[in-house]
Chain A
Amino acid sequence: MLNRGRNIEKGRVITRRMFILAAAKILLFAGISSRLYNLQISDREKYEILSDKNRIREWKTPPQRGIIVDNFNKVLASNDRVFQLHLILDEINDFDVTIFKIKNLIGLDQFQIKKLYKKKERLKPWDTLVVSDNLTWEQFSKINLYLHELEGAKPVLSTSRFYPYANDLVHIVGYVGDASPKDLEKPEIKENFVPGLKVGKYGIENSQEKMLIGNYGIKRYEVNASGKRISQIDYIKERQGNKVNLTIDIEIQKYAQELLKEKAGSICAMDIYTGEVVAMASSPTYDPNKFTHGINQKDWKEIKNNPLKPLINKSIAGLYSPGSTFKPLVALAALEYGILDPNKTIRCKGHKHPYELYGVKYHCWKKEGHGYMKLRNAIKQSCDIYFYEMARLLGVDRLSIIAKRYGLGTNVLGDLYNDEKKGLVPDTKWKKRALEQSWYLGETVINGIGQGYIQTTPLQLCLMTAQIANGGYKIKPHIIKDDSINYKDVLNKIKLDQSNFPLHERNYLDDINVEYYQRMYHKKSNINFVLDAMFGSTNEQYGTSYKSRYDDPKYQFAGKTGTSQVRRITDLDRELDLDTDQIEYKKRDHALYVAFAPYKDPRYAISVIIEHGGSGSKTAAPLASKLIKRIIDRHKLREQFNNGNTSLA
């Protein structure tokens, strides 16, 4: 019985302990349940995001760059299909081995391999290395064939820039190249960049990046743990960049470029009402297509070391003394301020009796002198003596007000080109501030013939001429087509401004700010006087560009020559009086010419500068004459096209 009692006791112990254990089990299961609740209900979102991150990988697809077209929709910059090889760095275990295999497949030389290693060092470990952005079809198919042996290799079908008019447009359109770290800091590039994408380096390509670059596409793939694509779940298509429409007429541009062949210099042509730049040539030039896939050392050295400096866009970044092309504006200023009666006669007596001021002699360019001159004749024959005296009377500060008003001393194209120069229109305040010196009257005198401190770009001279030729109205120069600006509207605005004449209770002789399409002159007759004098300069005997004239009123133009000294002319030089080709190239004068055409109903202004070309009348004016004919021949077509008749293109 004792045994039995013990047994009952034992049974009770076991059962009791079982219940204690069961309680513990329930507690622990409750723990698991609450953990499940935490993970699956409280933190569900967090883990869902993590899960998506795990399974979804994104690949960016490069966008096509927007094309660039001329006024007639002719393509100036297009996209070609190219084959590229990219390496995804974080998928590569042994970079050396991979590079060795690639080297054997597509035949890289030692120099290229060195460059790749250098490039790789600059990249982050998860970046993409572009091994080659322009493989031949043969190389590309070889890579594809051996792809399974190449870790991280990614053959890419991409597009690259092509410039059909290569050399003729490089200074306007610019070129593309690999993005530098600095480029990648720009928001428009940073937001749209895909490895291997080319970005604008210069010109329109650079400044219109936002328009041209487009948006990359995204391909989302479901991947497994080892990164292998399982299926595509999403594809946001890439968007090609916008088209950029230039005001350039490629035919005229090509011709201008041809006229400048073998020379250093610039030709600019502009619509005097709309401000559309029709041509902006700079010479010498170079091939932008060479830059697309990285220019080779030899070509680069050739361009860089050329003494005629092809890399400089001379139309906007070349600074020249305007020389006598400045004279119409000096005359206009003098007339506006009423400094002198245009019938005032001054005698030019030649080198033996130069103009004298405080014991310093100032010579006319004409050795034997012009004789008795009135203002119109002084402009026509470009007499320096007359302008010395006129400038002295006018004073540099008043001259600078008018010079700045007509477009000198500021950027013509705004911030479109980061290398555009402002030039310099000096006045007394400027000299005090910049050089900490007082102004000398002698400096005013030579300023009157466009020498001295004054510095202008060819495009500024073109704009200056345009704004005189259109009757003295401010226009908005531009090289990217602006549909809101057309000839009829501009003409209407100008007419409106004329009819509002009494409303302008402003003193145009003060340093005032003039709005677009409003007049800049004080007296209309002064503008007309200058235009008439320029007509004489080209179309009348003894005029400096008489030889380049057209008698046909369709082509008849008016202009002003200029010869800008690159150094001080000594008495010895005057004595020698050498011909241009007898002087050392670097010491020869720059030849300039500005003109507008047709004279009767002007529409275009043009400026020509030939560096070290000698005299303006011999070198620059004939080129301008040829180009003017071409521009006028194409005028009708342009007019029709711009008025919406696009079928003519």
Chain B
Amino acid sequence: MLRERIQASNYSLLDKLRSIDYLLILLIIAIGSISIFAIYSTEGGKFSFYTKNHIIRLSSFFILFLLLSFVRVSTWYKNAYLFYFVGLLLLITVLFFGISASGAKRWINLYFLNLQPSELMKIAVIICFARYYHRIQSSDIQSYKFLIQPIILLIIPCYLVIQQPDLGTSILIAGSGIAIIWLAGLNIKYFVYSGLLLLVSLPFAISILKPYQKSRILTFFNPDRDPLGAGYQIIQSKIAIGSGGFFGKGYLKGTQSYLEFLPEKHTDFIFTLFSEEFGFLGSIILLLLYILLIYRIINVGLVSRSFFAKLYCFGFATAIFLYVFVNIAMVLGMLPIVGAPLPIMSYGGSSLLSIMLGLSIVMSCKIYNQEQISAY
């Protein structure tokens, strides 16, 4: 009877406010504030274009996040596929009407914002898969019939994104998708097999890569191969981080970034700048903030009743982890350079938008955590 009541429930506003995860909001504000300071530093301590834009975006998307948090989780559930297909449609639009920058065609001009649909697709895939596995019986999960569909759903956007070309985002989309398939309980052997298959086909895969992508991978294994060319970014980034030491060079005193040795310092290499100025201590603190964020998201999943909410939260937590890990590992020279922004910290509207959107769904899972969603 209780379940009936809750399902039909009209949560009172007080209930809703009470079940908001305030710690999560605090974490978002903390990382957001750090990002403002970091971007201010990339401009050499001048309050100009990037900082202004970042503050405007951060605050408007934060408000959006708060508002969307009150959307019922079942609404998200119902519109999950729609979300996915809209994302797909936008990706196809990019293919034809996208605007190019530095050799890649990734954006749609929306006048107030150059939207990068591949960023939205990161969230769309998670929400779509969460819905897909929500309704599938655990006995059916292992059958090929139910396996083939998500694989197709995953391959289409990944292929489209690779075509832009944007290997990094495509890997991140695939990663979050696979994470949910794993969470849903697909037999471990499939992962082992496909892992082996990937390894075998790696030489072939490399041969079809674009020359610049190949050079990036070669450079990853030996950055000194071309210190002023492809290896430049990795070498300079390592120098910046290494020279930061334990306490860092101090805020606005990062010589590497201030003197423009760092490429793309306000986007993919924002961690490098932060680490140079705040050192090992600052870096570990930032890392801990991300770990806490991920922990809070997982916590929401744990207290949620529906599989959809659980899958979504765990999946999104894994996705956040992947973004953070790939980005930091990349600037530390542990992974090849692929375009992967650091969530919230990096300057970039689409990435910020999709993260905030994802977080608002997490929050709605939290607020409506007792809501059951019938599998139909």
A residues neighboring B (CB under 8 Å): 6-7, 9-11, 13-15, 17-18, 21-22, 25, 28-29, 31-33, 35-37, 39-41, 43-44, 46-48, 50-51, 54-55, 222-226, 230
List 17 other contacts, CB 8 Å, given A6-B137, A10-B138.
A9-B138, A11-B307, A13-B184, A14-B311, A17-B183, A17-B314, A18-B183, A18-B314, A33-B284, A40-B246, A44-B243, A46-B242, A51-B242, A51-B243, A54-B239, A222-B255, A224-B261
17 contacts between A and B (CB under 8 A): A7-B307, A14-B310, A14-B314, A15-B310, A18-B314, A21-B179, A25-B318, A25-B321, A32-B332, A33-B284, A33-B287, A36-B280, A40-B246, A44-B243, A47-B238, A51-B242, A222-B259
Are the CB atoms of B238 and A39 closer together than 8 Å? Answer: yes
- Residue B367 interfacial (CB < 8 Å): no
B residues neighboring A (CB under 8 Å): 137-139, 179, 182-185, 236, 238-246, 255-256, 259-261, 275, 279-280, 283-284, 287, 291, 294, 298, 301-302, 307, 310-311, 314, 318, 321, 325, 328-329, 332, 334
Are the CB atoms of B245 and A48 closer together than 8 Å? Answer: yes
Please indicate the chain A residues that have their CB under 8 angstroms from the CB of B334 in the complex.
Answer: 31-32, 35
Most buried by B among A7, A13, A51: A51
Bound together, the chains give a CA A55 to CA B311 distance in angstroms of: 49
Are the CB atoms of B241 and A47 closer together than 8 Å? Answer: yes
Bound together, the chains give a CA A44 to CA B240 distance in angstroms of: 10
Please indicate the chain B residues that have their CB under 8 angstroms from the CB of A13 in the complex.
Answer: 138, 184-185
Are the CB atoms of B259 and A18 closer together than 8 Å? Answer: no
| Of the residues B179, B238, B245, B260, contact of A41 by C-beta under 8 Å | B245
Are the CB atoms of A224 and B260 closer together than 8 Å? Answer: yes
Q: Which residue of A lies closest to B185 (CB)?
A: A13
Q: In the complex, how many angstroms separate the beta carbon of A125 from the nearest chain B beta carbon?
A: 14
| Of the residues B242, B260, B284, B318, contact of A21 by C-beta under 8 Å | B318
Are the CB atoms of B139 and A6 closer together than 8 Å? Answer: yes
Please indicate the chain A residues that have their CB under 8 angstroms from the CB of B259 in the complex.
Answer: 54-55, 222-225, 230
Please indicate the chain A residues that have their CB under 8 angstroms from the CB of B314 in the complex.
Answer: 14, 17-18, 21
A-B contact count (CB 8 A): 127
Are the CB atoms of A50 and B243 closer together than 8 Å? Answer: yes
Are the CB atoms of A50 and B310 closer together than 8 Å? Answer: no
Please indicate the chain A residues that have their CB under 8 angstroms from the CB of B244 in the complex.
Answer: 40
Q: Which residue of B lies closest to A44 (CB)?
A: B245
Are the CB atoms of A29 and B242 closer together than 8 Å? Answer: no
Please indicate the chain B residues that have their CB under 8 angstroms from the CB of A46 in the complex.
Answer: 242
Bound together, the chains give a CA A68 to CA B332 distance in angstroms of: 60
Please indicate the chain B residues that have their CB under 8 angstroms from the CB of A40 in the complex.
Answer: 241-242, 244-246, 275, 279-280, 283
Are the CB atoms of A37 and B280 closer together than 8 Å? Answer: yes
Please indicate the chain A residues that have their CB under 8 angstroms from the CB of B184 in the complex.
Answer: 13-14
Bound together, the chains give a CA A32 to CA B329 distance in angstroms of: 6
Q: In the complex, how many angstroms separate the beta carbon of B138 from the nearest chain A beta carbon?
A: 4
Are the CB atoms of A50 and B239 closer together than 8 Å? Answer: yes
Q: In the complex, how many angstroms separate the beta carbon of B286 from the nearest chain A beta carbon?
A: 10
Please indicate the chain A residues that have their CB under 8 angstroms from the CB of B321 in the complex.
Answer: 25, 28
Are the CB atoms of A225 and B329 closer together than 8 Å? Answer: no
| Of the residues A10, A36, A54, contact of B241 by C-beta under 8 Å | A36
Bound together, the chains give a CA A132 to CA B299 distance in angstroms of: 75
Are the CB atoms of B138 and A47 closer together than 8 Å? Answer: no
Shortest beta-carbon contacts, A-B, top 4:
A47-B242, A51-B243, A13-B185, A40-B280
Q: In the complex, how many angstroms separate the beta carbon of B121 from the nearest chain A beta carbon?
A: 21
Bound together, the chains give a CA A41 to CA B246 distance in angstroms of: 6
Are the CB atoms of A36 and B245 closer together than 8 Å? Answer: no
Bound together, the chains give a CA A44 to CA B334 distance in angstroms of: 17
Are the CB atoms of B241 and A226 closer together than 8 Å? Answer: no
Known contacts being A10-B185, A31-B334, A223-B259, is A48 close to B243, with CB within 8 Å? yes
Please indicate the chain B residues that have their CB under 8 angstroms from the CB of A32 in the complex.
Answer: 287, 325, 328-329, 332, 334
Please indicate the chain B residues that have their CB under 8 angstroms from the CB of A43 in the complex.
Answer: 242
Are the CB atoms of A36 and B332 closer together than 8 Å? Answer: yes
Please indicate the chain B residues that have their CB under 8 angstroms from the CB of A35 in the complex.
Answer: 329, 332, 334
Known contacts being A18-B298, A50-B242, A54-B239, is A28 close to B183, with CB within 8 Å? no
Q: In the complex, how many angstroms separate the beta carbon of A42 from the nearest chain B beta carbon?
A: 9
Known contacts being A14-B310, A33-B284, A55-B259, is A22 close to B298, with CB within 8 Å? yes
Q: Which residue of B lies closest to A20 (CB)?
A: B182
Bound together, the chains give a CA A642 to CA B64 distance in angstroms of: 94
Please indicate the chain B residues that have their CB under 8 angstroms from the CB of A14 in the complex.
Answer: 183-185, 307, 310-311, 314
Q: In the complex, how many angstroms separate the beta carbon of A219 from the nearest chain B beta carbon?
A: 17
Q: In the complex, how many angstroms separate the beta carbon of A116 from the nearest chain B beta carbon?
A: 28
Q: In the complex, how many angstroms separate the beta carbon of A130 from the nearest chain B beta carbon?
A: 28
Please indicate the chain B residues that have their CB under 8 angstroms from the CB of A33 in the complex.
Answer: 284, 287
Q: In the complex, how many angstroms separate the beta carbon of B145 from the nearest chain A beta carbon?
A: 18
Q: In the complex, how many angstroms separate the beta carbon of A21 from the nearest chain B beta carbon?
A: 6
Bound together, the chains give a CA A6 to CA B298 distance in angstroms of: 22
Please indicate the chain B residues that have their CB under 8 angstroms from the CB of A50 in the complex.
Answer: 239, 242-243
Please indicate the chain A residues that have their CB under 8 angstroms from the CB of B291 in the complex.
Answer: 29
Bound together, the chains give a CA A11 to CA B134 distance in angstroms of: 10
Are the CB atoms of B261 and A10 closer together than 8 Å? Answer: no
Are the CB atoms of A51 and B240 closer together than 8 Å? Answer: yes
Please indicate the chain A residues that have their CB under 8 angstroms from the CB of B241 in the complex.
Answer: 36, 39-40, 47
Are the CB atoms of A21 and B307 closer together than 8 Å? Answer: no
Q: Which residue of A lies closest to B137 (CB)?
A: A6
Q: Which residue of B lies closest to A9 (CB)?
A: B138
